[in-house]
């Protein structure tokens, strides 16, 4: 399984992460032409376990993130090895320095299904690391958290009250 492009010197994984770092949609498109599987996108990480989605969130790469989130099978809540942060955590950190772009990235992630209830290794949710004065960002995270909790409450974990489904009916 050759993921290295020896002509250019960088592997497909390195090119993917570089596209995310530089918000380079042309480079992303080139990489995805040859490596567009969910496994490639979800398993291509840097040394700290950051996926392209983490990197895009960390560097404010809105356009690349938008394209990544359109990819079938992309995991939106992967946790990196170092802090256990998700891309949503990274986006909230980014929003501390770039408030408006950070807010747009947080919205993009939450609309794509990123779970704001996920805690990192320090037991912090994205809202816990947000600037307390950034009421707009906090509102987006609170709304997303509420919507997630409502959605999960609607799906029962077990079929206990749906009638006889014990498995002992078959003869």
- As a three-state string, the secondary structure of the chain is CCCECCCCCCEHHHHHHHHHHHCCHHHHHHHHHHCCCHHHHHHCCCCCCCCHHHHHHHHCCHHHHHHHHCCCCCCCCCCCCCCCCCHHHHHHHHHHHCHHHHHHHHHHHHHCCCCCCCCCCCCCCHHHHCCCCCHHHHHHHHHHHHHHHHHHHHCCCCCCCCCCCCCCCCC
CATH fold of the domain at 12-151: 1.25.40
Across 159-167, average pLDDT: 37
* HSE toward the beta carbon, residue 60, CA cutoff 13 A: 12
> Is the pLDDT score of 77 beyond 80?
yes
56-68 tens-digit pLDDT: 999 999 999 999 9
Q: Domain locations in the chain?
A: 12-151
What is the Cα gyration radius of the chain? Answer: 19
- Total residue count of the chain as it appears in this document: 171
Single pTM value for the model: 0.82
What are the pLDDT digits (tens) for 84-130?
999 999 999 999 999 999 999 999 999 999 999 999 999 999 999 99
Q: Please state, as a whole number, how many other Cβ atoms lie within 10 Å of the Cβ of residue 135.
A: 11
Residue 165: predicted pLDDT: 36
């Amino acid at each position: 399984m050759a993921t290295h492009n020896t002509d250019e010197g960088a592997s497909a994984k390195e090119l993917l992460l570089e596209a995310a770092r530089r918000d380079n949609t042309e480079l992303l498109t080139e990489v995805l032409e040859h490596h567009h599987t969910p496994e490639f996108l979800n398993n291509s990480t840097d040394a700290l376990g950051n996926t392209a989605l983490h990197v895009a969130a960390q560097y404010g790469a809105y356009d690349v993130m938008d394209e990544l989130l359109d990819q079938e099978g992309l995991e939106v809540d992967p946790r990196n090895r170092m802090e256990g942060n998700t891309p949503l955590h990274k986006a909230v950190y980014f929003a501390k320095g770039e408030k408006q772009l950070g807010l747009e990235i947080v919205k993009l992630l939450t609309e794509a299904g990123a779970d704001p209830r996920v805690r990192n290794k320090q037991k912090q949710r994205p809202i816990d690391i947000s600037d307390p004065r950034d009421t707009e960002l906090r509102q987006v995270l609170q709304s997303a958290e509420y919507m997630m909790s409502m959605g999960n409450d609607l799906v029962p974990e077990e079929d206990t009250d749906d009638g006889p489904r014990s498995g002992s009916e078959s003869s």
